[in-house]
């Protein structure tokens, strides 16, 4: 199947983010803070030599550069959603010891890293006799009192993906990558068109808006894993935006880039849930995307040859936010917003 010509279309995420930013009530962006953040982020990224190599340096990310790495990345990003904890000490002051945790080789892994498991065959997920719900519940068992959130939804995502990849892509996501023919935009479109559990869209101000957090991070993780080569080569990778979750908006707020209404600030500080699809949630996510675009624009304005895009900025901000979480450095700042959703 020939790849699509990506020159005439985009993911629609940036257009949606701009619309949300221009119409938001409860979330605004400080252009001055984005300029300051651009300077400090660029300096820090240069000091750390931050690049796609940084992604591969994590202990749990794959070190091989072959089709098995693509299948592993697909599985992880298929299930990469809603790991915020009711007992996160950075937000609640409660003990870390009860958080959903998976112990591996002497280390307790929480959040996204607790997900990195070696079951990567879609035909296996599609076989409910060999891969029963009971077995999957055992796979996702916790080493603490807190269970993994949305377990039934994660199992449903596995079943859906197993069926679609078996029926349409000869049992492997690698064939979906090949059909995209080096276009990140085409791959994102293929993912959301074929797998409803990735179709991260909402209604806002009478308009359908696209956010596509997991579809975009799936493409970006492949790009980073393969260091922009082989399966990770995408000629239009810079059309991918940041990945609007609950952790990056938190650090953007701490940097002053995002500003919240008093009502929203109180709601988040009180650890109250914001329903998926609520206008406040859409504004948090859309303005986060547009804020990172502003930061990127400022960096490239000052350093036209900088090797930076929205993906690397997101990776950097997420890593920084997690480090602050581990050191409890954000304990006196705003918590992450609380939305249970399969989309992030």
Active-site residue 77, yes or no?
no
Q: Which of 25, 245, 278, 305 is catalytic?
A: 245
Residue 337: which of 232, 227, 247, 244 has the closest Cα? 247
The Cα 222–Cα 182 span in angstroms is 12
| C-alpha count within 13 angstroms, C-beta hemisphere, residue 225 | 25
182: tokens are 């080096």
Are the beta carbons of 243 and 217 closer than 8 angstroms?
A: yes
The answer to whether the CB of 209 falls within 8 A of the CB of 202 is yes
What residues are labeled active site?
245
């Amino acid at each position: 199947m020939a790849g699509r010509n990506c020159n005439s279309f985009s993911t629609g995420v940036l257009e949606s983010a701009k619309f949300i930013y221009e119409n938001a009530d409860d979330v605004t962006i400080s252009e001055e803070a984005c300029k300051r953040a651009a300077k400090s982020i660029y300096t820090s990224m240069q000091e750390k030599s931050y690049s796609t190599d940084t992604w591969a340096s994590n202990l749990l990310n794959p070190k091989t550069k072959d089709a098995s790495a693509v299948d592993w990345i697909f599985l992880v990003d298929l299930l990469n959603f809603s790991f915020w904890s009711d007992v996160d000490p950075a937000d609640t002051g409660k003990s870390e010891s009860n958080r959903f945790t998976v112990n591996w080789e002497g280390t307790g892994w929480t959040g996204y890293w607790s997900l990195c498991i070696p079951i990567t065959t879609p035909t296996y997920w599609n076989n409910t006799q060999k891969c029963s719900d009971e077995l999957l519940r055992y796979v996702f068992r916790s080493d603490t009192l807190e269970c993994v959130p949305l377990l039934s939804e994660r199992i449903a995502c596995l079943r859906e993906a197993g069926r679609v990849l078996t029926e349409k892509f000869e049992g492997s996501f690698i064939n979906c990558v090949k059909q995209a023919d080096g276009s990140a935009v085409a791959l994102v479109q293929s993912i959301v068109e074929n797998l409803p559990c990735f179709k991260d869209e909402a209604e806002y101000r009478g308009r359908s808006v696209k956010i596509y957090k997991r579809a975009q991070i799936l493409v970006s993780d492949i790009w980073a894993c393969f260091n922009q080569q082989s399966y990770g080569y995408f000629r239009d990778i810079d059309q991918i935006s940041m990945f609007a979750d609950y952790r990056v908006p938190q650090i953007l707020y701490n940097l002053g880039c995002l500003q919240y209404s008093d009502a929203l600030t109180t709601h988040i500080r009180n650890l109250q849930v914001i329903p998926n699809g609520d206008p406040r949630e859409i504004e948090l996510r859309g303005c986060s995307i547009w804020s990172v675009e502003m930061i990127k624009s400022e960096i490239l304005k000052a350093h036209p040859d900088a090797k930076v895009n929205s993906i690397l900025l997101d990776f950097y901000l997420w890593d920084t936010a997690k480090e602050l979480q581990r050191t409890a450095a954000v304990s006196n700042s705003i918590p992450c917003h609380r939305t249970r959703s399969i989309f992030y």
